[in-house]
Amino acid sequence: MWAASALATSLLLLAQAQDAHAFFRMPCKQPVVVERADPIVNPGAVSGHLHTIMGGVSKVFDFNMTYDTARASDCSTCMARADLSNYWTPSLFYRGQNGSFHRVKQVGGMTVYYLQRPGFDGEQLKAFPPGFRMLAGNPALRSYDPNSVEQNAVTHVCLYDGGETPGFQPKNCPAGLRTQVFFPSCWDGKNLDSADHKSHVSYPIEHFNGGKCPDTHPVHLVSIFYEILWDINEWADMWWDGNGVGHPFTLSMGDPTGYHGDFLNGWDTDVLQSAIDQCTNNSGVIEDCKLLDLRTDDEMGDCALPARVPDKLNGWIDRLPGCNDVYPGPDNAKMQPPSACGAPVTMLPKDTSIITAVAGWTTRGCGVDKGERILSKQYKNGAMTPQVCTAYCAENGYKFAGLEYSSECYCGNDLDATRLSAPDAACDSPCEGDPNSTC
């Protein structure tokens, strides 16, 4: 999806607007899950393309996520305790010249800006109502209209090296490529969703990131804005023009041109409204909003789940998950259902573990090494897998085996089971000897 700011100075303008109005940045430390799920567009079913999802979750990610199920979440990867929303965007892939794909590392998780930008002096901004959800952008779009407010609301920045562009940058970004998604902030005041998940909301009249709301959508909501940072520098030595598009990257729906994002509200409405009304600091620092109780890094880091759709996601893959073909446009892409190519269309049982099973061994769980190691004998061979590790431990007379950091094997004869309290998703590092296994 092409999208851009029509102004080369938009970064400066954004900074000036932030200086004039209160806002806070909410860190979301990591994804809660990466899988083909989209409770807004494909509720209850496997989505056609891969998403990186932040926010609240219970023991499993609910493909039918609603406001009530979001509010019942046990944890969240985002900082404000009163916020159990879900925020998601498509995943980014490097496309090799041989036609294979590899996921691009996302630096951390996501930063969500909550911006207080009234359309006129004295206008009171509103919190998202319970059940509210929306989408920004168009996953099928492959052409850019500089006069489209919606398209100008999604931009890309090569950090410390130039301004915003409508599509991905046609060059490497050593400090990272940042994708920016600004959501509509005007609501019709009636519908919590709509058939296209966009018609119930609108951008302001003057500009996508500020101004008066149109009469058709008179309720001015707090503005939200996503920032996602990609480590594309990892692929600098394998750069090519992607068959004429200027870069070797594509989004998970086969889009080499742009971006889209989804928001499913899970806020405590009263708390968010109080933050809008009372947190008037323009520092952007969420800690300056004293009425918000905040999660620790450890709490956000412990909230993650394994994918329940059995796609191959790690290492090199022959096709994008869901079998989406790369299509640069300029006409809109025609999305085929995953069933057309044999991609998985059902979910694994809710109790499926992400930890790779090994014949003859019993899986005991996932633990985090803090201070003294859970198991003490270390072994490395440069091509580690669970099978290699367990074989080494058994041959050397050890009862227990564990793996860390994709490459390290540990053995021991004593195990403190109370230290195996981390969720399985915390043990999701792909093995250096087999990226389809976890180490």
312-to-50, 317, 337, 368, 402 alpha-carbon distances in Å = 11, 7, 18, 25, 23
| pLDDT for the residue 305 | 85
**Ramachandran class of 139: left when φ > 0, alpha when ψ lies in -120 to 50, beta otherwise:** alpha
Residues 398-424: tens digit of each pLDDT: 999 999 989 999 999 999 988 888 777
Query: Which tokens go with 371?
Result: 């201070």
How do the domains of the chain map onto residue ranges?
10-341, 353-439
Residue 126: pLDDT over 90: yes
Tokens 């191959």 found at: 312
CA distance 153 to 155: 7
> Could you give phi then psi for residue 21, rounded to 5 degrees?
-130, 155
**How confident is the model over 284-302, as a mean pLDDT?**
95
Query: Which tokens go with 106?
Result: 């996302």
**Ramachandran class of 159: left when φ > 0, alpha when ψ lies in -120 to 50, beta otherwise:** beta
Reduced to 3 states (helix: H, G, I; strand: E, B; else coil), residue 341 is helix
Q: Which of 181-185, 231-235, 321-325, 385-389 has the lowest mean pLDDT?
A: 321-325
Reduced to 3 states (helix: H, G, I; strand: E, B; else coil), residue 45 is coil
DSSP state of 418: G
Reduced to 3 states (helix: H, G, I; strand: E, B; else coil), residue 110 is strand
Which of 52 and 15 is assigned the larger pLDDT?
Answer: 52
**Residue type (1 letter), 234:** E
Write down the pTM of the prediction.
0.84
Residues 255-282: tens digit of each pLDDT: 988 778 999 999 999 999 999 999 999 9
CA distance 434 to 385: 6
Residue 230: pLDDT over 50: yes
Residue 241: pLDDT over 90: yes
| pLDDT for the residue 20 | 62
| pLDDT for the residue 3 | 31
Residue 142: pLDDT over 90: no
| pLDDT for the residue 166 | 84
| pLDDT for the residue 339 | 81
Residue 90: pLDDT over 90: yes
**How confident is the model over 42-69, as a mean pLDDT?**
94
Residue 1: pLDDT over 60: no
Query: Which tokens go with 6?
Result: 């029509």
Residue 129 burial (CB count, 10 A): 15
Query: Is residue 35 a contact partner of residue 307, using CB atoms and an 8 Å limit?
Result: yes
| pLDDT for the residue 423 | 74
Percent of the chain whose pLDDT exceeds 90 = 68
| pLDDT for the residue 2 | 31
CA angle 301, 427, 67 (to 5 degrees): 50
10 band by pLDDT with thresholds 50, 70 and 90: very low
Residue 190 burial (CB count, 10 A): 8
Q: What are the residues facing 27 on neighbouring strands?
A: 111
9 band by pLDDT with thresholds 50, 70 and 90: very low
Q: 303 CB contacts (<8 Å, ≥6 apart)?
A: 32, 56, 57, 74, 75, 76, 77, 423
Query: Which tokens go with 5?
Result: 């700011």
Q: Strand (E) positions, 223-326?
A: 223-230, 249-251, 260-264, 284-285
Residue 17: pLDDT over 70: no
| pLDDT for the residue 72 | 96
Range list of H helices, 117-157 = 149-152
Query: Which tokens go with 351?
Result: 């109790």
Q: Where is 278: in which H helix or E strand?
A: helix 269-278
Residue 352: pLDDT over 80: no
Residue 16: pLDDT over 50: no
CA angle 292, 293, 295 (to 5 degrees): 125
Residue 206: pLDDT over 60: yes
